[in-house]
Copies of this chain bind each other. A is one copy, B any other.
Amino acid sequence: MEKPAVRAVLEALQPLLGDRLVATQAVREHHGRDTSYHAPALPDAVAFPRTEAEVQEIVRACAAHDVPIVPFGAGSSVEGHTIPTRGGLSVSTREMSAIVEVRPEDQLAVVQPGVTRKQLNTELRATGMMFSVDPGADASLGGIASTRGSGTMSYRYGTMRDNVLGLRAVTADGEVVKTGSRARKSATGYDLTHLFVGAEGTLGVITELTVRLHPVAEAITSASCTFGSVEDAVNSVIELVQYGIPAARVEFLDEVAIAAVNAYSKLDLPVAPTLLFEFHGTEDWAAEQARIAEAICADHGGAGFAWSADADERGRLWAARHDLYFATKAIEPGKELYTGDICVPISRLAESIMAARADIDRSYLTGQVVGHVGDGNYHASYLIRPGNQEDLAEANRLADLMVGRALEMGGTASGEHGLGLGKLKFMRREHGDAAVLAMQAIKRALDPKGLMNPGKLGMAG
């Protein structure tokens, strides 16, 4: 049974969108879930606009009938961001996947929001430039922006926050807000760009992004090193950071993760707490960074520091890291992965990771800890039986313990996954009442009816 308001919206938009306005059960179900454990909730229909003007018409029609609008990119959120808990219209950016302009000379690209990170990097191949933000999934840039995502290279190249120069968004009144410029910096006006980055779709639908590109390094060196303890591994990272070595990647994997990677990717890495490094630079400079890292790791008992500038060897190492999601699921086939995500001041990182590891060891769930440790950011993941409430409750308990400690350490409840549905409960604890009230005031100012991705950020109680 269609609700009358939804029917009115569909009738209004049908002439504009034709078969790009879909209310079949299958399509609604596809847009009612993400890759997380969160319970699905179906949109009443899904729109597939191709242009900003169509997004404006969609928003206006929804606003006229008080129907919620839920932006949907690649659907790769792990925190329930795109789940339409209050129904309404999912607005998919799947058909908005054009790369509008690439300007290597200005180190920027202009893209529609549905462009994925891999798509953009494929397009950039001939330019000598790259887009550096690489969350695990092949997420859409609109989605990465909305969740303020990052990935393995943010220590060197910044998170999505640092890599969005400007954007265009359709706000709740159907108007197009243009933010930022093509200049690398600006001191004019409130920073609306960074208000939309991380807003989780609650302030408008992003219709275009201008993102920074970085030159592909002349030489790339990879390295791995194993340690006797988590503490030794993390202390090496802390020293590397303090030394100012601009490593492109510094990834930590605990023993469980290494064992999973070995089994899944046919590697034979020593099963111990491990750091994976990548260094970018000229040939000399990439090699020097590796030598310095080697010396620092050795000071902390790191063993078997192996580095290579060979592209094939590097490819195998990082492919294994990127396949970690599947490798971990293969530990206990049929189970799902529940992924926690926090970020702490780096001086507290070893203590934080060790506590997360100890929690897992005391639990009946299997789990691992991996992280973008140069940033102080890591994930603890737990294998749970699909639909099993006991496992879910235990995973929630472990993840909440980890977040609670992170907040006590002056860290944050999410380094890169966002709050979505699962972590809204930490808003007040992390930000305090006054900041939450300010966020709510901003939400009301830009979306008085609360139609933009309702139930997420900005309406948090």
Which A residues are within 8 Å of any B CB, using their own CB? 103-108, 128, 147-150, 154, 159, 161-162, 171, 175-179, 181-192, 194-195, 197-199, 203, 214-215, 217-218, 238, 241-244, 246, 281-282, 284-285, 288, 292, 341, 343-347, 375-377, 406, 409-419, 423, 426-427, 430-432, 434-439, 441-446, 457-458
Contact = CB atoms under 8 A, between A and B. Distances in A.
5 contacts: A106-B345, A185-B377, A185-B415, A187-B416, A194-B194
Lowest 9 CB-CB distances: which A-B pairs, in order?
A215-B244, A182-B410, A445-B445, A186-B412, A183-B343, A194-B194, A441-B445, A105-B347, A148-B187
B244 A214 contact: yes
Given A105-B238, A282-B288, A191 B195 contact: yes
A194 B185 CA distance: 13
A177 B188 CA distance: 23
A341 B406 CA distance: 42
A234 to B, nearest CB: 12
B244 A217 contact: yes
A352 to B, nearest CB: 10
A234 B185 CA distance: 18
Contacts of A108: 345
Nearest to A411: B183
A375 B165 CA distance: 13
A444 B442 contact: no
Nearest to A413: B188
Which of A189, A217, A439 counts the most B-chain CB atoms under 10 A from its CB? A189
A347 to B, nearest CB: 4
Contacts of A105: 238, 242, 346-347
A177 B346 contact: no
A382 to B, nearest CB: 20
A242 B104 contact: yes
Contact of A411 (B182, B198, B288): B182
Contacts of A285: 281, 284-285, 288
Nearest to A217: B244
Nearest to A460: B189
Given A183-B406, A218-B244, 17 more contacts: A148-B186, A148-B187, A159-B185, A161-B185, A171-B438, A181-B410, A183-B376, A185-B412, A187-B198, A187-B416, A188-B414, A188-B419, A189-B427, A190-B443, A191-B195, A195-B442, A442-B445
A376 B241 CA distance: 29
Contact of A185 (B171, B188, B375, B442): B375
Contacts of A241: 107
A187 B418 contact: yes
Contacts of A419: 187-189
Nearest to A431: B189
